Amino acid sequence: MREINASIPFDKALWKQDIAASKAHVAMLGAQGIVSAEDAAAISAGLDTVAGEYEASGVPEDWSLEDIHMTTESRLAELIGPAAGRLHTARSRNDQVATDFRLWVRDALDEADAGLAALQAALVTRAGEHAGAIMPGFTHLQVAQPVTLGHHLMAYYEMLRRDRSRFSDARARLNECPLGSAALAGTGFAIDRAATAQALGFAKPTDNSLDSVSDRDFALDYLMAAAQCSLHLSRLAEELIVWASQPYGFVRMPDALSTGSSIMPQKKNPDAAELVRGHSGRIVGCLTALMVTMKGLPLAYSKDMQDDKPPVFEAAGLLTLSLAAMEGMIAQAAFNTARMRQAAEFGYATATDLADWLVRQAGIPFREAHHITGAAVKLAESKGLALEALSLEELRAIDPRIDEGVFPALSVEASVAARASHGGTAPSEVEKRVAEARAALGMDR
């Protein structure tokens, strides 16, 4: 029972939050006259001493004390004597852990937002450098149309912008204080829950004591946002892995975030990107674990909820590391823009531009233009030529309405420049989006 019941090996991570919540609670007890001013002062000073010990030497793991809450109270009693027992007046370990955990998750949300902002800044910086660098755009991993590297990188900026909004929404919902809900029914002491909520930086106290001690929506909100974010990081990692392979040769990953082979000296493996991709699976697993834990619990608190913290702690550690690694990869990656441009000419990426030209200049319905373009691509492919390398005579043999004005439209530069609709890949549009992003991130202050 001692081994299955003890949570101190992992919930010791809550010690800073536990000390802060206890100090807020005892200050309120003193202000309300529920404990004497002398005892409140002694308890607060004792808690500061305990915090100093934890900071210097770590939290001791005595499994007989079960958790961080009893560990702290036991040490407080050793320091100040029986007055320590008054700290637990008008609270339970149920509302205590709910408060501590909310405080920890709130810090994790803020840390995730900071990491996302740093990665966004790296993406925006590199996008600005490469607003006009042409590369192939893909669908089905097949060359589709030319785009710019800046446009491609800014797509991930947008994903991360949505991730930040999810973390922000989760923080707003989380920011209510359960302290004072006691075990499940509230307390008969004349406490001031608004005071403790304010002291701990919460917007307000929670409104239902049963829900307060049994709610872990805030942890699930964090994990859902972390899982979605990790999917975006995994997609970017996958692209970097593919781009760094010799058949692509689009990017050279930084040495500091790559490894060599134990047997093949020529190898440079994108291990950091692969680990970011792998971490995503673990983070999704953490979300699934807590969802399954919570799915059948009756009100109010059940001991199953002791298992709420390990998946959140694990996911937060993995996400923080993944964000930092990805920021380093983006900031230090060396993009081979000449190779990218060359690849953009493969696969007849400007075929859509020929069809569009036929619609605009010859007044041909798009479906017919699509058919004509397909014939031109087939001819170019049979000759081993790029589309723009076909002669005017060859193109006119396919359709006599084609004239020499078609050739400027078939270059990859013309293709990307033409896509100047809002949010398009034209360098002018990418530069606008980069400027807006820099302003939103405060990068030019």
Closest by CA position to 340, among listed 132, 124, 120, 157? 132
Hey, what are 330's tokens? Answer: 């983006």
Residues 344/135, Cβ–Cβ less than 8 Å: yes
Rounded Cα distance, 381 and 439, in Å: 46
Residue 382 annotated as catalytic: no
Residues 211/93, Cβ–Cβ less than 8 Å: no
Residues 221/145, Cβ–Cβ less than 8 Å: no
Residues 369/161, Cβ–Cβ less than 8 Å: no
Rounded Cα distance, 226 and 235, in Å: 14
Residue 279 annotated as catalytic: no
CB neighbours of 397 closer than 8 A, spacing ≥ 6? Answer: none
Rounded Cα distance, 413 and 5, in Å: 66
The alpha carbons of the chain give a radius of gyration, in whole angstroms, of 30
- Which of 36, 165, 245, 261 is catalytic? The answer is 261
Residues 351/412, Cβ–Cβ less than 8 Å: no
Rounded Cα distance, 201 and 223, in Å: 22
Closest by CA position to 319, among listed 11, 158, 110, 112? 112
CB neighbours of 436 closer than 8 A, spacing ≥ 6? Answer: none
CB neighbours of 59 closer than 8 A, spacing ≥ 6? Answer: 8, 12, 15, 68, 71
Q: If you write DSSP's letter for every residue of 45-113 in order, what string do you get? A: HHHHHHHHHHHHH-----GGG-SHHHHHHHHHHHHHGGGGGGGGTT--HHHHHHHHHHHHHHHHHHHHH
- Which of 140, 382, 421, 422 is catalytic? The answer is 140
Rounded Cα distance, 237 and 255, in Å: 16
Rounded Cα distance, 190 and 366, in Å: 76
Residues 232/57, Cβ–Cβ less than 8 Å: no
Hey, which residues are catalytic here?
Answer: 140, 261
